[in-house]
Structure 1
Amino acid sequence: MKPTFPLLAVSFFAADIQAGAGPFLGIYLQAQGWTPDTIGTVLTLGAIVGMLVTAPAGALVDALRQRRAVVVGASVLTIMAACVIWFSQGFWPITLSQIATAIAGSVMGPALTGLTLGMAGQKNFDRQFGRNQVANHAGNIAAAVLSGAAGWWLGLPYVFALCALFGVACIVSVMLIPARAVHRHYARGLAQDDDQDTSKIHADSMRMLLRNRSLLLLAIVLAAFSLGNSAMLPLYSLAVAAAHRGGASQITAANIVISQIVMLVAAIYASRLIRRFGFWWVLLATFVTLPARALTAAWLASPWGIVPVQIFDGLGSGLQAVAIPALVVHLLHGSGRVNLGQGAVLGIEAAGGCLSPLLGGWLANRYGYPVAFVALGSLAIVSLAVWIAQGDVIRRDCDTRRDTLDKLTDLDATALFR
């Protein structure tokens, strides 16, 4: 069995760990009498903690030799959070569960990046990570369908029991990856074989992240994009559920399933598009999807509006899920700080994302859902302005790095793609 098979299984079951039960949690808490702004506050508190641990999580993945243990730890946190929601609906127990969920999701990103880079190498990273994302989106579809069915037949609390089951399956899957299949130096972005003397191998200073202008620009545009985008799914689920009175869990599941199907298709073609058009053009296209999604959500607050709203989400998020980690690897490979860089970028992006539910919930509660959608979508202007204005810098850095990367040693991973 190829070692990438259990890696795909980890990506599949990690879907519920990374995404969490946020949309379903919002519907569940709304049924318990919680208001949109209170729900947004709880989600924001958890997301703030997740944001703060993302960069340290990347540094931890760089430092540890047993990177599979990080996945196990994140899965355990998810199981614990699901148990807390099952037994209590108080403000602080729910808040603590969301903190645990946010930490688990933040840790899982750099962990999967490190495992993939250590198995596939830099040149084939985008191909394998694209496959991982296909499995991840398939896992999200399965989780959403099962969650919708569980919410309909058994009640919303069973949605959280399903999260715990996915956490257990993720632990089993990651333990099936042979430890020797993950090259510890390549996994952190050091172009060195494992059998070399480790005492002579040193990673670059952490300050090099601050000197990488393209990396900083990427983080800024993602923060603005995430500030507008992150609250869209839970808010749109709440808006449709409030307008049509019923089938809340099914509406949320449909939102997730449609976007995940589109994300799955986008992930299949992401690496091909990156190699043909380059990182800059692919990410530019994703930033355009946010205002289109926001205007559609404001105009069509109905079950039928789910389709176009979530298609835009799927296109943008599906391409970003492959292009962003691949771009960070492209910019940092050879430094030994790839996973720290991934965590730093994701952490700054999460800074926007953790404020999004608070901002969106406040706007929806004060001015209504349509105004909230338009306001959130307008934040894409910041991302587009910075990305276009600094396009020459980013494309020049990418072109320069290609020559550098060609001179570095890399893993021979051809057997993984036959």
Structure 2
Amino acid sequence: MRSRLGLNGLNFFTAAVQAGFGPFIAVWLTLSGWTLGALGLALSIGTFAALLGQLPGGMLVDQIHRKRIPAAGALIALGAGALMLCLAPTHTLVFSAQILHGLASCVMTPAIAALTLSICGHDSYSERLGQNTRYDALGNAASAALLGAAAAAISQRAVFLVTAGLVVPALASLVMIRMADCVDPEDDHSALRHPREREHKPWQIFADPTLHVFAAAVVLFQLANAALLPIALNGLARGGGAPGLVVSATIIVPQIVTAMLAPWAGTLAQRIGRRPVLMVGFAAVPLRALLFAVVPGALPLTVLQALDGVSAAVFGLMLPLIAADLTRRTGFLNLAIGALGLASGLGATCATLIAGWIGDRFGEATTFLLLAAVGAAAVGLLWIAMPETRRTKPAAQIRQPAH
């Protein structure tokens, strides 16, 4: 029970820390006199570092048996990056903080996934990932409110002091996860073995065609999804219909929906399989894009963001879950998560560039329709080429999760 509570807290506070590196950076640098070009370069450097670090970060976590060590290192690096942003907003400090944040995130995500597998085992992994996604969403929502209040009541600089401070409860939560609870001799997932005991080589995971199918679907998913909200908010802003309350609501609504749905989606994925749940989550993206095209306005946008919560709940759950399914024999869970994270990052990075170019030339409605087509292509790829990855076992052999 103590380790599970620690894992809840680790997900909550890690998400809260990550929120501090979001839109607040753009506001702080703009108020500090940075040009749009310099601001864009700073954000791009962080994104590029995160892309480069996905595979090495996953491999690093795979090679360290005690997963709390890389998790603690990543949290400390995140805190150091936040403190850098509190200092004078020079190019050197800001660029360094962005690189540190990007690389640390590449270690933190697989480390949490590995700790989760160690605590609950593969057969209960789906349900536990649903809980992880819930606390991640709650941490994002709570942090958005806390950091917004700090910015309004104190200063924009205070946002990053609070962000660094949130690393402390995250580390305390990590300490609550006891290694004694992470020993599960009954589970046969190779990722739980010591790295020296694995029989396969890391690159062997890429021989599985299912990994490539899912990675391609992830790229298409992010190409369709990542630009939807920015394009919609841009259109509202040009028409004078995007006040701060609407922007906040479009962020908070999907977080609430994600927190509500994620545990249920995790349970359902274990009962009926990954593929049906995955397709429902992916299908929410083209549906949302179509509705954005035909039902414009601030209120519809806010309501339709509930569909973003559906897709976020499923995506956050399925990426590590399918990675675990596909690496049951090889054990290189975190390298697979890094590879899928790289696919996700590439899709999201290209999405805003492509959608922005299309929007400038053909208008928002056409952009939404094209993004809906890309999202539908992702669903079609899953339907045609993605097999079911859930392992079927006799009910008597499936261990019940500890409560």
Work out whether residues 43 and 354 of structure 1, in 8 Å CA contact, stay in contact via their aligned partners in 2.
no
Q: Which amino acid aligns with 1:153?
A: A
The unaligned stretches of length 5 or more in structure 1 are: none
The unaligned stretches of length 5 or more in structure 2 are: none
The residue aligned with 1:47 is: 47
Q: How big is the shift at 1:118?
A: 0.7
Q: Which amino acid aligns with 1:212?
A: D
The residue aligned with 1:111 is: 111
The alpha-carbon distance between structure 1 residues 208 and 64, as it changes in their structure 2 partners (threshold 3 A), is same
Structure 2 residue 317 is the aligned partner of structure 1 residue 327:
no
Work out whether residues 202 and 332 of structure 2, in 8 Å CA contact, stay in contact via their aligned partners in 1.
yes
Q: Which amino acid aligns with 1:267?
A: A
Compare 148-157 and 131-140 and name the one that shifted more.
148-157
Out of 254, 259, 263, the position equivalent to 1:259 is 254
Q: How big is the shift at 1:326?
A: 1.5
Out of 346, 350, 355, the position equivalent to 2:345 is 350
Work out whether residues 192 and 331 of structure 2, in 8 Å CA contact, stay in contact via their aligned partners in 1.
no
The alpha-carbon distance between structure 1 residues 192 and 126, as it changes in their structure 2 partners (threshold 3 A), is closer
Q: Deviations over 1:172-231 (max 9, x none)?
A: 22122223322399999427778xxx86x2241223212111111111110121123224
The alpha-carbon distance between structure 1 residues 171 and 240, as it changes in their structure 2 partners (threshold 3 A), is farther
Q: Deviations over 1:80-133 (max 9, x none)?
A: 332333334555644443332222222221111100111111111111121122
* Pairing 1:10-409 to 2, within 5 Å after superposition: 10-18=10-18, 21-28=21-28, 42-89=42-89, 93-183=93-183, 189-190=189-190, 201-234=197-230, 236-237=232-233, 240-241=236-237, 243-244=239-240, 248=244, 250-298=245-293, 302-362=297-357, 373-391=368-386, 394-395=387-388, 398=389, 401-402=391-392
Q: Secondary structure at the match of 1:402?
A: coil
- CA–CA separation in structure 2 for the residues paired with 1:353 and 1:203: 35
Give the root-mean-square deviation of aligned CA atoms: 3.4
Work out whether residues 263 and 315 of structure 1, in 8 Å CA contact, stay in contact via their aligned partners in 2.
yes
Q: How big is the shift at 1:163?
A: 2.2
Q: How big is the shift at 1:233?
A: 4.2
Q: Secondary structure at the match of 2:123?
A: coil
Q: How big is the shift at 1:55?
A: 1.8
Q: Which amino acid aligns with 2:219?
A: A
Work out whether residues 191 and 332 of structure 2, in 8 Å CA contact, stay in contact via their aligned partners in 1.
no
Work out whether residues 190 and 329 of structure 2, in 8 Å CA contact, stay in contact via their aligned partners in 1.
yes
The alpha-carbon distance between structure 1 residues 216 and 85, as it changes in their structure 2 partners (threshold 3 A), is same
Q: Which amino acid aligns with 1:75?
A: L
Output the TM-score relative to the length of structure 1: 0.83
Output the TM-score relative to the length of structure 2: 0.85
The percent of aligned pairs where both chains have the same amino acid is 25
**Matched pairs, number:** 402
